[in-house]
Amino acid sequence: MTDIWGIVNVTPDSFSDGGRYLDVDRAVAHGLALRAAGAGVLDVGGESTRPGAQRVDAATEQARVLPVIEQLVAAGAAVSVDTLNATTAAAAVEAGARIVNDVSGGLADPDMRAAVAESGADYAIGHWRGSSADMYAQAEYRRIAREVAGELQERVGEAAAAGIAPSRVILDPGIGFAKAGAQNWDMLRGLDEITGLGRRVLIGTSRKRFLVDTLRQANPGEEDVSEARRDLATAVTSALALRAGVWAVRVHDVAATRDALAIAQAWDGR
Residues that bind ligand PMM (CB under 6 A): 7, 9, 14, 16, 48-50, 82, 101, 103, 124, 126, 172, 174-175, 202, 204, 206-207, 250
At residue 45, the 3 state secondary structure works out as: strand
Name the catalytic one among 168, 199, 208, 230.
208
Q: Distance (Å, rounded) from C-alpha 130 to C-alpha 95?
A: 29
Q: Which is nearer to ligand PMM, 226 or 269 (CB)?
A: 226
Output the residue with the shortest Cβ distance to ligand PMM: 204
Q: Which is nearer to ligand PMM, 245 or 263 (CB)?
A: 245
At residue 42, the 3 state secondary structure works out as: strand
Q: 113 an active-site residue?
A: no
* Burial of 16 (C-beta count, 10 Å sphere; 0-12/13-18/19+): middle
What number of residues does the chain have?
270
B/e letters for 207-224, b = 16+ CB within 10 Å, e = fewer, are bbbbbbbbbeeeeeeeee
Q: Distance (Å, rounded) from C-alpha 25 to C-alpha 74?
A: 13
Minimum distance of ligand PMM from residue 139's CB (angstroms): 15
- φ and ψ at 235, to 5 degrees? -60, -35
Q: How many CB atoms lie within 10 A of CB 137?
A: 10
Q: Distance (Å, rounded) from C-alpha 37 to C-alpha 16?
A: 19
Name the catalytic one among 64, 113, 230, 250.
250
Q: 179 an active-site residue?
A: no
Angle subtended by helix axes 182-189 and 144-161, to nearest 10: 70
Q: Distance (Å, rounded) from C-alpha 38 to C-alpha 43?
A: 13
Q: How many CB atoms lie within 10 A of CB 142?
A: 6
Q: Which is nearer to ligand PMM, 9 or 85 (CB)?
A: 9
Minimum distance of ligand PMM from residue 221's CB (angstroms): 27
Active site residues: 208, 250
